[in-house]
Amino acid sequence: MAEDFLTTGFAIAWPWLLLLAPVPWLIRKLLPASTSNDTQSLRVPWFTAVAGDKSGWMRRPWLAMAAALVWLLLVLAAARPQWVGEIESMPVTGRDLLLAVDISGSMDTQDMILNKTAVNRLKMVKKVAGEFIQRRHGDRVGLILFGSRAYLQTPLTFDTQTTATLLDESEIGLAGRETAIGDAIGLAVKRLRDDSAADRVLVLLTDGANTSGEVQPLQAAEFAAREGLTVYTVGVGADEMMVQDFFGSRVVNPSADLDEDTLRTIADRTGGRYFRARDVEGLERIYEILDELEPVESDVEIIRPVDELFYWPMGLAYGLALLAALLSIRPLSLRSVTS
């Protein structure tokens, strides 16, 4: 407890930099004053107002004190003052989890009901998957968005809140209107290939079939299996939807294009599972099952949060220097006019 007390509170990361504090005074005392009388020197009419005699503003005591204080504040900022917080425990699993979300044009189909309101598939996924991400405390979570192309929206990070926020900010069509399932899996393999985590997991969520990209889904699944990446696939979309046309109302299957066979094969070849999400409740149950299959907590890591405080002395130094300059402008102007 005594050690914790000593290491909690204000601290200096680089205290040796504080030795620079007397450098200006040492330079003034040790270096000889200039004695040059070169007649070709530039003539400055207002030089005496700067440093020529005892009335020059550089010789004012308050200004010398301000300059000294500015220097000391800058030295303090360079030494990195910090506030060291209390020890906190953080659950750690050693698991890296990537979530690949389809944002192709078909995800705009409004066959989902959220809070008694018809919404498109992506909005439903944002809500349920966002809550799933925020529950992954201790995991490093990343986000891949894919349409005609696949992009790494968020690299692997413990900051689950930011990952969930970036998922919520995604929009349909940003990656193209088609669906590149193979490229999304290939990108996940590439990002996790050199990772040292014990468990590497990809949760791939789509509502269609592979219609774009350079890598075929089953070929990408083979790559994932060789690299030890477990892929859980989720097919999104309702089985029935009422639509209006010229002949009136009729029931259609909005998920007719969903390639369940391919998604099931991808999961089987990589040791994962295939899930079918027909509504919000179904997707929520799927993520509850994933929480059980890929448990969140298996160990605890002790951390101590550290907040950097260098911007406080730096800001004070700049503010004081600006104030001293402003207060010196008017006397300088008057002296230059009279000269």
Q: Domains in the chain, please, with CATH?
A: 2-30+44-85+306-338 (no CATH), 91-299 (3.40.50.410)
CB 17 within 8 A of CB 79: yes
Choose from 185-194, 237-246, 247-256, 322-331 the range with maximum mean pLDDT: 185-194
Please check the confidence at residue 199 and state whether its pLDDT lies above 90. no
Tell me what pLDDT residue 113 has.
80
Q: For residue 7, report the phi and psi dihedrals to the nearest 5 degrees.
A: -95, 0
- Select from 88, 86, 85, 83 the least CA-distant residue to 308: 83
Distance, in Å, from the CA atom of 174 to the CA atom of 151, rounded to the nearest integer, reads: 10
Tell me what pLDDT residue 3 has.
40
Distance, in Å, from the CA atom of 105 to the CA atom of 122, rounded to the nearest integer, reads: 10
CA 326 to chain centre: 39
- Helices 311-338/61-78 angle, 10° precision: 150
Q: pLDDT above 70 covers what percent of the chain?
A: 76
Tokens representing residue 219 in the block? 């070929």
For residue range 82-111, list pLDDT tens digits in order. 988 877 666 556 678 899 999 998 888 887
Tell me what pLDDT residue 231 has.
93
Of residues 278 and 90, more confidently modeled: 278
Three-state DSSP at 294 gives coil
Distance, in Å, from the CA atom of 175 to the CA atom of 179, rounded to the nearest integer, reads: 9
Least confident of 141-150, 154-163, 252-261: 252-261
Alpha-helical (H) ranges within the chain are 2-7, 23-30, 47, 61-78, 121-134, 160-168, 181-192, 217-226, 260-270, 280-293, 311-338
Is 284 exposed, middle or buried (CB count within 10 Å of its CB: 0-12, 13-18, 19+)? middle
Q: pLDDT above 90 covers what percent of the chain?
A: 31
CB 142 within 8 A of CB 154: yes
Q: Distance of CA 194 to CAs 92, 150, 189, Å?
A: 19, 19, 9
For residue range 291-309, list pLDDT tens digits in order. 777 665 555 566 777 889 9
CA 225 to chain centre: 29
For residue range 222-234, list pLDDT tens digits in order. 999 998 899 999 9
For residue range 311-320, list pLDDT tens digits in order. 999 999 999 9
Q: For residue 92, report the phi and psi dihedrals to the nearest 5 degrees.
A: -130, 135
Rounded to 5°, angle at Cα 199 from 196 and 203: 120
Please check the confidence at residue 336 and state whether its pLDDT lies above 50. no
Predicted confidence band of residue 247 (pLDDT cuts 50, 70, 90): low
Could you identify the residue written with the tokens 């029935």?
240
Question: What pTM was estimated for this model as a whole?
Answer: 0.62
Please check the confidence at residue 127 and state whether its pLDDT lies above 90. no
